Homo-oligomer: A and B are copies of this chain.
């Protein structure tokens, strides 16, 4: 397991990174070791130290690191010289993915969508979604929500709330109006009623939007959960005002909240959905934008990108869909683990006032919101020293976010939650509010 000499080691070991990599690196600062191998819920550094991974590629490793089932399929594909890079040409691997995605995901849920293979990053899927919506409706404005995170390319970043990222744009971000998310202003304000008032009023200054884009649980934004009722109200407002509803399911989708799509419990039917992160299932870059067939107004190649035919991802994604989504068992497993995590977080928090520490989130996307970013950062620092990789989120980094692989065994979950509990108590004990 990790030990206290890590800091010293890293000063020696990270010279290459210090000299040759840009200052833009960020997670590397929280975890100043050099990782080497990984399996399931575990990371191993180059000295063989083992860490439990409660970050999981920021939600990209729902099936764990190097999932054996997927790995064997990937190795087999590569060994057989399966085509790796195919632009947007037809391939056997893509066909298998499309068929499996339709059979195991779309059809059972009564969803009829076509699939656009965008460049294999979440931000690219969002760019495609926003373009499509604007072109269909011939309007430039998009509604996004406070604390939403949708990527950092200029089009997607306009919909991202975070000023740290926005400030780097270098030019004003346009085409998006930011509205309050569910419960943003506490009980005082029905935020959908407010949105509706602004849209109903022809002199509000809000240009008629082409669409609204929303995360049902805001991952980077601090595990803020949209209630099913709020989502349904949002869908109603979109219909009333002839706006498309886009769900950005890049972090919350692929089972993270308990169902394949995070919006399933609410019963809404988004017009456009973006998926990425855990879609390939193996941490391999992959992203799609899916939408109602009647919205498919793209002309050939209008939105393109070199790596939109990443067959390794098709292979592992297909394997994951077959392995985990052929029936509803996996959803039951996730629900059980989500309960385990929720109970543990509640137990940690129960000894403290709500404004010091409180549980937050949904599914296996839960955490602890802390009195301050300083407190949260101290907790994760202590966790790492005890062998747990975990990160903060939220506009002030004030939320400790548990994002383990969905397949993490219960004993590993418990071990990690123990570390989190101890670290939290120690951090609170040492904490002096400003």
CB of A229 to closest CB in B, whole Å: 18
Are B120 and A17 in contact, CB atoms less than 8 angstroms apart?
Answer: no
A171: chain B residues within 8 A (beta carbon)? 134, 140, 172, 174-175
CB of A14 to closest CB in B, whole Å: 6
CB of A228 to closest CB in B, whole Å: 22
Are B84 and A28 in contact, CB atoms less than 8 angstroms apart?
Answer: no
Q: Does A176 contact B (CB under 8 A)?
A: yes
Given known pairs A81-B38, A127-B154, A208-B163, the reply for A300 and B121 (CB within 8 Å) is no
A8: chain B residues within 8 A (beta carbon)? none
Query: Max chain B CB contacts within 10 Å: which of A13, A122, A204, A276?
Result: A204
Q: In the complex the two chains form, what is the Cα distance from A180 to B188 in whole Å?
A: 15
Residues in A365-398 with C-beta less than 8 Å from chain B: 394-396
Are B210 and A170 in contact, CB atoms less than 8 angstroms apart?
Answer: yes
A168: chain B residues within 8 A (beta carbon)? 131, 135, 298-299, 302-303
Interface 1/0s, chain A 37-73, versus B by CB < 8 A? 1110001001000000001011111000110000100
Q: In the complex the two chains form, what is the Cα distance from A120 to B130 in whole Å?
A: 20
Are A84 and B55 in contact, CB atoms less than 8 angstroms apart?
Answer: no
For the complex of A and B, the 5 pairs showing the least CB-CB separation, nearest first, are: A134-B170, A85-B283, A178-B205, A154-B155, A26-B301
Q: Which of A109-117, A338-346, A419-427 contacts B (4 or more CB under 8 A)?
A: A109-117
Q: Does A277 contact B (CB under 8 A)?
A: yes
Residue of B nearest to A31 (CB): B89
Are B92 and A26 in contact, CB atoms less than 8 angstroms apart?
Answer: no
A161: chain B residues within 8 A (beta carbon)? 201, 203-205
A85: chain B residues within 8 A (beta carbon)? 57, 60-61, 65, 282-284
Residues in A150-206 with C-beta less than 8 Å from chain B: 151-156, 158-178, 180, 184-185, 188-190, 193-194, 197-198, 201-206
Q: Which of A94-102, A253-261, A320-328, A350-358 contacts B (4 or more CB under 8 A)?
A: A94-102
A124: chain B residues within 8 A (beta carbon)? 119, 121, 123-124, 153
Are A194 and B202 in contact, CB atoms less than 8 angstroms apart?
Answer: no
CB of A273 to closest CB in B, whole Å: 13
Are B23 and A298 in contact, CB atoms less than 8 angstroms apart?
Answer: yes
Q: Which of A230-238, A262-270, A304-312, A329-337 contacts B (4 or more CB under 8 A)?
A: A304-312
Are B121 and A119 in contact, CB atoms less than 8 angstroms apart?
Answer: yes
Size of A's binding interface in residues, CB under 8 A = 153
- Copies in the assembly, this chain: 4
Are B34 and A92 in contact, CB atoms less than 8 angstroms apart?
Answer: yes
Q: In the complex the two chains form, what is the Cα distance from A169 to B81 in whole Å?
A: 37
Q: In the complex the two chains form, what is the Cα distance from A154 to B254 in whole Å?
A: 27
Q: In the complex the two chains form, what is the Cα distance from A35 to B119 in whole Å?
A: 20
Are A296 and B22 in contact, CB atoms less than 8 angstroms apart?
Answer: yes
Are A170 and B140 in contact, CB atoms less than 8 angstroms apart?
Answer: yes
CB of A333 to closest CB in B, whole Å: 22
Are A24 and B119 in contact, CB atoms less than 8 angstroms apart?
Answer: no
CB of A316 to closest CB in B, whole Å: 9
A55: chain B residues within 8 A (beta carbon)? 87
Are B178 and A206 in contact, CB atoms less than 8 angstroms apart?
Answer: yes
Q: Does A247 contact B (CB under 8 A)?
A: no
Are B284 and A312 in contact, CB atoms less than 8 angstroms apart?
Answer: yes
Are A91 and B36 in contact, CB atoms less than 8 angstroms apart?
Answer: yes
Other A-B contacts than A22-B291, A155-B169, A164-B202, 6 sampled, CB-CB below 8 A, are A21-B115, A25-B88, A37-B83, A133-B170, A161-B201, A173-B207
CB of A325 to closest CB in B, whole Å: 16
Are A169 and B114 in contact, CB atoms less than 8 angstroms apart?
Answer: no
Are B140 and A172 in contact, CB atoms less than 8 angstroms apart?
Answer: yes
Are A146 and B201 in contact, CB atoms less than 8 angstroms apart?
Answer: yes
Given known pairs A91-B35, A124-B121, the reply for A202 and B83 (CB within 8 Å) is no
Are A84 and B65 in contact, CB atoms less than 8 angstroms apart?
Answer: yes
Are A202 and B172 in contact, CB atoms less than 8 angstroms apart?
Answer: no
CB of A149 to closest CB in B, whole Å: 8
Are A84 and B98 in contact, CB atoms less than 8 angstroms apart?
Answer: no
Q: In the complex the two chains form, what is the Cα distance from A145 to B204 in whole Å?
A: 8
Q: Does A86 contact B (CB under 8 A)?
A: yes
